[in-house]
Amino acid sequence: MASAQRVSHEPAFILHRHDWSESSLILEVFTRHRGRTTIVAKGAKKHTSNFRPVLLALQPLHIHYTLAGGRNTPTSQAGDIHTLRGAEWAGGHTLPLGQSLLTGLYLNELLMRLLARDDPYAYLFDVYASLVQLLATPSTQAALPSALRGFELILLRELGLLPDLHPPAPSSPADPASNANNANATPRYLLSPEAGLRQCRAEDAYAHNALPARQWQALAQALSLDDAHSYRATVAACADCAHALKPQLRQLLQHHCGEPPLRTQQLMQDFLELSRS
């Protein structure tokens, strides 16, 4: 009988965990080379388990696991579940706290909802890892909005869900979101889940968040760069428009996630309202 195939020293982050038995956990894991993977951590809930202090969300790990196929390995409707053999903290940063923690849980929910199992996204993994490190670094929080918009854009691009960001030819020279009497106003554009990038109309719910063509073109150019430069350039392009991009990208992401609504969105809103009270 052939021995079970093992995966060793795989960079990974835990996206979600839930009980499998009184002593074991099922883990949804984002790995660098194998994408989103489901793994059972047998005995992880026991007080004597070496897994207990390690299997935490938003922490860089190296994991070792055996590919599914054994008699004692559970299965699910989505496919086989592999067996965890070892896990070590890869170091680098501590757990994000407060608003940063909620933001990290939002990232995890997006990946859980949008990534198919066993599809590798090595570059997306690297972008996610750099953003999680930013979340855990209090001194860099000012850069977080543009970094988060950059991650959302890269995620949509990598999954083939991002519409073309090159603005279409304007149907009218006037910008309905600005002074209607100014015939020389620059046309502005919105990102719509149904229509992609289109010229803004006065009745649009997010008309005040519409961007001029030059900003969309800068985003499109940044996203077209090779992996060594794309994320950094996209974050830089988001610096002046992160606030305006936020509702447009959230609407597009929710559209592709489907129902139910993203739970972490409501948690983040509740947290902000509580902090203001």
> Who contacts 241 (Cβ-Cβ below 8 Å, separation ≥6)?
211, 215
**Number of H helices and number of E strands within the chain?**
7, 10
Residues 85 and 214 grouped into a single domain: no
Q: What is the chain's Cα-based Rg?
A: 21
Residue 218 belongs to a domain: yes
Domain finish residue from 60, 89, 118: 89
Q: Is the pLDDT of residue 98 over 90?
A: no
Q: Are residues 230 and 131 in the same domain?
A: yes
Together in a domain, 133 and 239: yes
The domain boundary, picked from 32, 58, 89, lies at 89
- Please indicate, yes or no, if residue 1 is contained in any of the structural domains: no
Pick the more confident residue, 76 or 101: 101
Mean pLDDT score, 154-160: 98
* C-alpha distances out from residue 162 to 14, 148, 157, 209, Å: 26, 16, 5, 18
My answer on whether 78 and 183 are in the same domain is no
In a domain, 147, yes or no: yes
Mean pLDDT value across residues 39-66: 94
Percent of the chain with pLDDT over 90: 73
Kindly tell me if the per-residue pLDDT of 177 is higher than 90: no
Residue 174 pLDDT greater than 60, yes or no: no
Give the pLDDT of residue 276.
57
Residue pair 27/6 in contact (Cβ under 8 Å)? The answer is: no
- Count the neighbouring beta carbons within 10 Å of the beta carbon of residue 260: 8
Taking residues 219-247, what's their average pLDDT? 97
| Per-residue pLDDT tens digits for 185-225 | 789 999 999 999 999 998 888 899 999 999 999 999 999 99
Say if residue 64 is in the same domain as residue 81.
yes
Question: Considering the domain boundaries, does residue 168 fall inside one?
Answer: yes
26 and 132 together in one domain: no
Question: Cis (ω within 30 of 0) for the bond into 261?
Answer: no
Mean pLDDT of the chain: 88
CATH number of 16's domain? 2.40.50.140
E-strand ranges in the chain read 6-19, 25-31, 35-41, 61-66, 75-76, 79-80, 82-89, 188-192, 196-199, 211-212
Q: How confident is the model at residue 182 (pLDDT cuts 50, 70, 90)?
A: very low
- In this prediction, residues 161-182 reach a mean pLDDT of 69
pLDDT confidence of residue 254: 96
Least confident range of 110-119, 141-150, 183-192, 253-262:
183-192
Secondary structure letter of residue 117 according to DSSP: B
**Mean local confidence (pLDDT), 82-87:** 96
Residue-level pLDDT at 131: 96
- 196 lies in the same domain as 121: yes
Domain boundary among 40, 57, 89: 89
Determine contact, residues 40/83, Cβ cutoff 8 Å: yes
pLDDT at 181 over 50: no
| Percentage of the chain exceeding pLDDT 70 | 86
Residue-level pLDDT at 1? 43
Are 191 and 81 in the same domain?
Answer: no
77: containing domain: 6-89
Residue 257, both tokens: 């996630």
The Cα–Cα gap between 22 and 240 comes to 50
Are 202 and 245 part of one and the same domain?
A: yes
Q: For 88-97, 118-127, 143-152, 170-179, which range has the lowest pLDDT when averaged over its residues?
A: 170-179
Residues 80 and 170 in one domain: no
**pLDDT value for 138:** 84
The CATH number that applies at residue 135 is 1.20.1440.120
Both 157 and 206 in one domain: the answer is: yes
The answer to whether residues 154 and 183 belong to one domain is: yes
Residue 273: is its pLDDT beyond 60? no
Is residue 89 scored above 70 in pLDDT? yes
Q: Indicate the number of domains in the chain.
A: 2
**pLDDT higher for 72 or 38?**
38
Is 128 contained in some domain? yes
pLDDT, average across residues 168-178: 62
